């Protein structure tokens, strides 16, 4: 932003009514999209978990290896972890400032990415071995 | 500018975000906080799902370790809290989607929806655990 001394407007006055800082819309869209997707996915996930309660190790493996279970689980994991990452990002932005904020945001993204990779890897391993 | 409340060179303090302490607590406020707390709880709770999936994908003895934990008192208590957080956040999220669509913002309905969130989250948790004990 230019800040010439000839400009008598305040910094707030200059940015008012210019809309968002350009990249926020995608985050807002994604958290809403995943939230709607997670309604049926969560119900399906809970149904699947209840179905596993009466099964032993081999039964659980067989159930999770079926295409419907595996795809449901993958969709739940991906939508859930994207939603979770965006949600924690808004919590961090609300409560943490300065240099700590950058580290917290980086840690949040790395944690979510590792968790997603671990869950997807494990699900695929059960499905394909 | 003719205002006298700002000394030259220093900007007049801008109004800050609403502070919780200056408002009478309302149900919608409580449910807003509960939405965030349940979301944060699920952030940690996903670790349990990751452990479960990795244990299943490894071998029977890894699965037995997970199975023993989740059958213990601490494991069940943890899972119960996560189940509540999941259903509370789900019902509360639906309420937020309805509000975002412009529905249910009027005075009696918004409080009724907030109460429905609180009750619905617990009711679904109890329902799922009762089903769990029945089918186990």
Nearest residue of chain A to residue B136 (CA atoms): A54
Interacting residues of B91 by C-beta distance below 8 A, sequence separation 6+: B116, B117, B120, B121, B124
For A70-96, the pLDDT digits (tens) are: 999 999 999 999 999 999 999 999 888
For A24-52, the pLDDT digits (tens) are: 788 889 999 999 999 999 999 999 999 99
Facing residue for A57 by CB, picked from B39, B43, B63: B63
> Which residues in chain B have their CB less than 8 angstroms from residue A81's CB?
46
Query: Residue B49 domain-assigned?
Result: yes
The boundaries of the domain holding residue B43 are 27-135
Interacting residues of A64 by C-beta distance below 8 A, sequence separation 6+: A52, A70, A73, A123, A126, A127, B56
Alpha carbon distance A101, A26 (integer Å): 20
What is the pLDDT, as a whole number, of residue B1?
A: 43
Ordered by start, the domain boundaries in chain A are 25-128
A25-128 CATH choice from 3.40.50.10860, 1.20.1300.10, 2.70.98.50, 1.10.150.120? 1.20.1300.10
Query: Residue B104 domain-assigned?
Result: yes
Facing residue for A126 by CB, picked from B56, B94, B135: B56
Facing residue for B136 by CB, picked from A32, A54, A122: A54
> Which residues in chain A have their CB less than 8 angstroms from residue B40's CB?
88, 91
Split at pLDDT 50, 70, 90, the class of A118 is very high
User: Model pTM?
Assistant: 0.85
> Which residues in chain B have their CB less than 8 angstroms from residue A38's CB?
90, 93
Domain of B59: which CATH number?
A: 1.20.1300.10
Q: How many domains does chain B contain in total?
A: 1
- Give yes or no for a contact between A112 and A55, defined as CB atoms under 8 angstroms apart: no
Query: Residue B42 domain-assigned?
Result: yes
């Amino acid at each position: 932003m230019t800040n010439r001394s000839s400009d008598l407007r305040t910094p707030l006055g200059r940015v008012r009514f210019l809309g968002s800082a350009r990249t926020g819309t995608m985050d807002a869209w994604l958290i809403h999209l995943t939230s709607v997707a997670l309604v049926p996915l969560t119900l399906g996930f809970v149904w699947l978990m209840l179905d596993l309660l009466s099964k032993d190790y081999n039964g659980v493996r067989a159930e999770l290896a079926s295409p419907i279970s595996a795809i449901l689980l993958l969709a739940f994991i991906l939508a859930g972890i994207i939603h979770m990452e965006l949600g924690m990002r808004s919590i961090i932005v609300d409560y943490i400032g300065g240099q700590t904020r950058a580290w917290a945001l980086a840690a949040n993204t790395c944690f979510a990415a590792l968790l997603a990779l671990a869950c997807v890897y494990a699900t695929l391993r059960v499905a394909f071995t | 500018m003719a205002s006298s409340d700002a000394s030259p060179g220093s900007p007049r303090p801008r109004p800050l975000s609403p502070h919780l302490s200056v408002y009478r607590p309302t149900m919608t406020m409580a449910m807003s906080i509960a939405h965030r707390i349940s979301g944060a709880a699920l952030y940690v709770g996903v670790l349990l799902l990751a452990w479960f999936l990795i244990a299943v994908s490894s071998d029977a003895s890894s699965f037995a370790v997970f199975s023993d934990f989740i059958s213990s008192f601490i494991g069940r208590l943890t899972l119960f809290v996560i189940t509540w957080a999941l259903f509370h956040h789900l019902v509360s999220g639906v309420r937020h989607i309805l509000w975002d669509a412009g529905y249910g913002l009027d005075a009696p309905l918004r409080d009724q929806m907030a109460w429905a969130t609180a009750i619905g989250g617990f009711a679904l948790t109890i329902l799922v655990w009762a089903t769990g004990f029945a089918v186990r």
